[in-house]
Structure 1
């Protein structure tokens, strides 16, 4: 999973990834500043500087953006686990953009490259890139979690890894307008909080909890799929890499941390396929399917799962 900033200055109908100093500076700001807000956030909440309006803003924006990334960017656009009607496709791409993890085309290209080279040379964010001893894994863990976003250079070429999205006018347009969506994601909680509370205090707490804390929490949960889930976790299914299931991340990631099955069967729409494995993103896909917004959903195939599980035994 990824984070990036791309320019909106490319000609109409085209998408251009930009890695200039301004864009790199924005990446640092989007990651570092919200992360720094988490520490005082604990003390501020303990001191009572959080109301139920703030909790609602935090939860609602978190669910919207986590669904946009997990259901839209990941299962839908990257792996084709289901097809979307145009309205749902656009809604998921916009929701994913609000997570500040990069334009949809860039995100999909990087993630497809990750699957092609998972935990091998060429993987943009494998925690095993430096070796297997304690120091090498520690350094690799930090790189896989956030380092590859901040200073990594091994990014995917969208023309090679995401030509289908480059041919989709909606995806190109949403990617080109990523900066505008970033502004909406940053300011909307403050505006809503201020209007809801009818005060500047409501705007300030809305921005702190609905923007800073929400972004930091969501980013580090997403990054943990790259780092934690490739270092530890149960492996009930056969995969080509070291991906594992990490149960305690399942709720916050909405099911993305059932990572072993995902790498064993990447196009499967449900990642938590075993008893007791909660997969909220699969529930959303099921709901979209019932409304007719999602179709050709690739639900788990029992025979294929049994073969993957038998091989892992």
Structure 2
């Protein structure tokens, strides 16, 4: 069960039909998509002329790791599904790191995701690939198109608990600050490590814009690829599928059929061979006393839900 009502009241709307607000969302989404793409073009030019060194690779991998961790472990498993509890300080860190991925603030992200689970692959799902007659159009919509259509999920229905949390609500209000910080950090580190302006610029490109572009593709792939291709070992009443190839870069989220079968589980790698970096980190937090009430389905429950 999600930490909200299982279905909205008849008087409540799934989305907010406000032309002004929808236009703002469209423009922000367009900027968020376009600028990282331009960064990739710049990176290709830099790679052709200057190559790439350890500093740039380190900034790309490091910033990618911490920001996608913030999305998967923070936005997704903690804030969306309450799969584990943690301290206020860790909550704030997770919310900030997730916001640095430039996929919206924690309230926006959680509202969309909870709505997705409530209406997975049926009308009402904001990004199902199965609601279009043309499969390519459905794939485009699920991967990126939904972010550009300006639809605003009603946060008062799907994320009221976060809006009522004064600390998280304040972090959410500063969403744009965290995006800028996520660009400033690799820029400053790149400049300091090389002591050149070009090093700062390359830090911005590789640790900032290219990192955002790659994170968008991997995280959005759980909406598109992981609802079209892969194995479905569990009955989940939707088209979610497990995908081995995205397991490491998605922190385990590509075990998507597992997740939809047990959405409140802090661990999604349910078989010994399923790499689940996010689940492993949560277990480490638990052992260190920084996480508790870590939810994991029992072995009997897992077997009972397996497809025959």
Q: Is TM more than 0.5 here?
A: yes
- What is the match of residue 185 of structure 2? 188
Deviation at 1:33, TM superposition (A): 2.3
* Contact preservation (8 Å) 1:269, 1:300: no
Instruction: Give the TM-score, by structure 2 length.
Output: 0.90
- Range with greater deviation from structure 2 (270-279 or 45-54): 45-54
Equivalence for 1:149: 147
Q: Counterpart of 1:85?
A: 87
Structure 1 position 19, deviation (Å): 2.7
Give distance in 2, aligned partners of 1:38 and 1:256.
25
3-state SS of paired residue (1:242) = coil
Q: How does 1:193-208 map to 2 (within 5 A)?
A: 193-208=190-205
Which residue is 2:283 aligned to? Answer: 286
2:65 counterpart (59, 63, 66): 63
Whether 1:236 and 2:233 are equivalent positions in the alignment is yes
Name the CA distance, whole Å, in 2 between partners of 1:117 and 1:170: 29
Give the structure 2 partner of residue 296 of structure 1: 293
CA RMSD between the two structures? 1.8
Show the 5 A alignment for 1:122-133: 122-131=124-133
The structural deviation recorded for 1:169 is 0.7
Q: Distance in 2 between matches of 1:73 and 1:250?
A: 17
Contact 2:67 2:98 in 1 (8 A): yes
After the TM superposition, which residues 160-179 of structure 1 pair with which residues of structure 2 at under 5 Å, given as runs? 160-179=157-176
Contact 2:120 2:238 in 1 (8 A): yes
Structure 2 counterpart of 1:102: 104
Aligned-residue offset at 1:22 = 4.8
Alpha-carbon distance between aligned partners in 2 of 1:244 and 1:285, rounded to the nearest angstrom: 23
**Alignment length, in residue pairs?**
291
| CA drift at 1:56 | 1.1
Pair 1:217–1:66, CA change in 2 (3 A): same
User: Counterpart of 1:137?
Assistant: 135
Matching residue of 1:25? 27
Question: How far did residue 73 of structure 1 move?
Answer: 0.3
Asked if 2 retains the 8 angstrom alpha-carbon contact of 1:50 and 1:205, the reply is no
What residue is the counterpart of 1:9 in the other structure?
none
Corresponding residue for residue 3 of structure 1 = none
Q: Which runs of 5+ in 1 are unaligned?
A: 1-15
Measured after TM superposition, the shift of residue 60 of structure 1 is 1.1
C-alpha distance in structure 2 between counterparts of 1:149 and 1:120, whole Å: 18
* 8 Å CA contact retained: 1:165, 1:172: yes
CA distance change for structure 1 residues 82 and 150 in 2, over 3 Å: closer, same or farther? Answer: same
Higher alpha-carbon deviation: 27-36 or 52-61: 27-36
Q: 1:276 aligns with which of 262, 273, 276?
A: 273
